[in-house]
């Protein structure tokens, strides 16, 4: 009897029981959600110019990803395209504009995962690849490995002929100022940045497949090769067609301990929780541990959820037939 029950559970429909059959029939053909970090993001913390520029960048990322999905393209291609836009924008802590380590250079992390096959690729501590998310995808598709780091990952990037960039591309004057402020005033990374800077994307394509990707520069003043949750499969990034796709941003040490991304998917798959319920409950557990941040979630029926326990989160979403939505502050819809 136990074996029969286990078999029934593992072969149950992909759509959680909390989603009605009628809802499944009217689900969007494709959907995409993105984030650009969470933290102390309040209206008085951004100038009107910064607010406008950040919204424009989020909109460009949604446009890049949705253009692929609208043509029947793969979720994997869509999340990579969206992330690359954000990696090139200095308003976000990923790629160009990534924060600096204690020694004043950039160490970049990224991950990507295909929900169809659960293939994944990740890199940490890379220094010269213009788009770390593309390097993570190369690890997934062109190596026998899941996770590469440091000099080895940089060498693999060159072998794969990915576009390289020098320190002058990644490091910006604002990030140098933040590092100097942190050192001079003996601050923590969150005190100087006021947010956890990571970019992420989760997509469901017209074929019903899911994908997730995340990219980050880590935290200002990080030392000793510190790695957060973003490139850790199951913590900051996860995708499984049977459950959901997740990208996280926040206090990485807590997200790793909670296994946030996989935990959300497990709740959806086995407990049949709705995406919003699963995301909220896991973020409550992160908060109970002492951590904060946020997540974006996409599900097999295209339902999007986001959850965060900080004052704000850079975020956006779009579905087939709908208009893009971009938001920053908690009081926005």
Given 198, 216, 220, 310, the catalytic residue: 198
Is residue 240 within 8 Å of 269, Cβ to Cβ?
yes
Please state, as a whole number, how many other Cβ atoms lie within 10 Å of the Cβ of residue 149: 17
Rounded Cα–Cα distance for residues 289 and 219 (Å) = 19
Which residue intervals of 91-186 are DSSP H helices? Answer: 132-142, 150-159, 167-170, 173-185
Question: HSE of 169 in the Cβ direction (CA atoms, 13 Å)?
Answer: 15
- The whole-angstrom separation of Cα 304 and Cα 31 is 8
| DSSP H or E run through 312 | strand 312-319
E strands within 130-278?
147-149, 195-196, 198-204, 210-216, 237-240, 244-250
Write the DSSP symbol of residue 118: T
C-alpha to C-alpha distance for 254 and 158, rounded to whole angstroms: 33
**Does 181 qualify as catalytic in the annotation?**
no
Q: Give the SS3 label for residue 103.
A: coil
54 Cβ partners below 8 Å, 6+ apart?
Answer: 36, 46, 91, 314, 328
Query: Which residues are known catalytic residues?
Result: 198
């Amino acid at each position: 009897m136990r074996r029969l029950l286990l078999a029934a559970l593992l072969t149950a429909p992909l759509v959680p029981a909390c989603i009605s059959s009628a809802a499944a029939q009217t689900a969007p053909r494709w959907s995409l959600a993105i984030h650009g970090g969470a933290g102390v993001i309040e209206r008085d913390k951004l100038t009107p110019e910064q607010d406008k520029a950040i919204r424009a960048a989020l909109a460009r990322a949604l446009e890049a990803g949705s253009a692929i999905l609208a043509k029947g393209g793969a979720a994997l291609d869509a999340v990579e395209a969206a992330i690359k836009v954000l990696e090139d924008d200095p308003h976000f802590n990923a790629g160009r504009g990534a924060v600096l380590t204690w020694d004043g250079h950039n160490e970049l992390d990224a991950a990507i995962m295909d929900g169809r096959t659960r293939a994944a690729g990740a890199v940490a501590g890379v220094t010269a690849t213009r788009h770390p998310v593309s390097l993570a995808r190369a690890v997934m598709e062109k190596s026998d490995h899941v996770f590469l780091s440091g000099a080895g990952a940089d060498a693999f990037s060159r072998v794969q002929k990915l576009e390289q960039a020098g320190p002058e591309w990644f490091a910006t004057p604002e990030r140098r100022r933040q590092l100097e402020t942190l050192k001079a005033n003996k601050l923590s990374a969150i005190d100087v940045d006021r947010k956890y800077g990571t970019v992420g994307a989760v997509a469901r394509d017209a074929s019903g497949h899911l994908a997730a990707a995340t990219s980050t520069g880590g935290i200002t003043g990080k030392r000793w090769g510190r790695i957060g949750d973003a490139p850790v499969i199951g913590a900051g990034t996860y995708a499984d067609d049977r459950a959901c796709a997740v990208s996280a941003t926040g206090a990485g040490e807590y997200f790793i301990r909670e296994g946030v991304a996989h935990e959300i998917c497990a709740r959806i798959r086995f407990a049949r929780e709705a995406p919003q319920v699963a995301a909220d409950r896991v973020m409550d557990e992160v908060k109970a541990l002492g951590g904060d941040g946020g997540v974006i979630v996409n599900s097999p029926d295209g339902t999007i959820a986001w959850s965060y326990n900080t004052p704000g989160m850079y975020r956006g979403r779009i579905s087939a037939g709908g208009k893009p939505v971009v938001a920053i502050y908690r009081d926005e819809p």
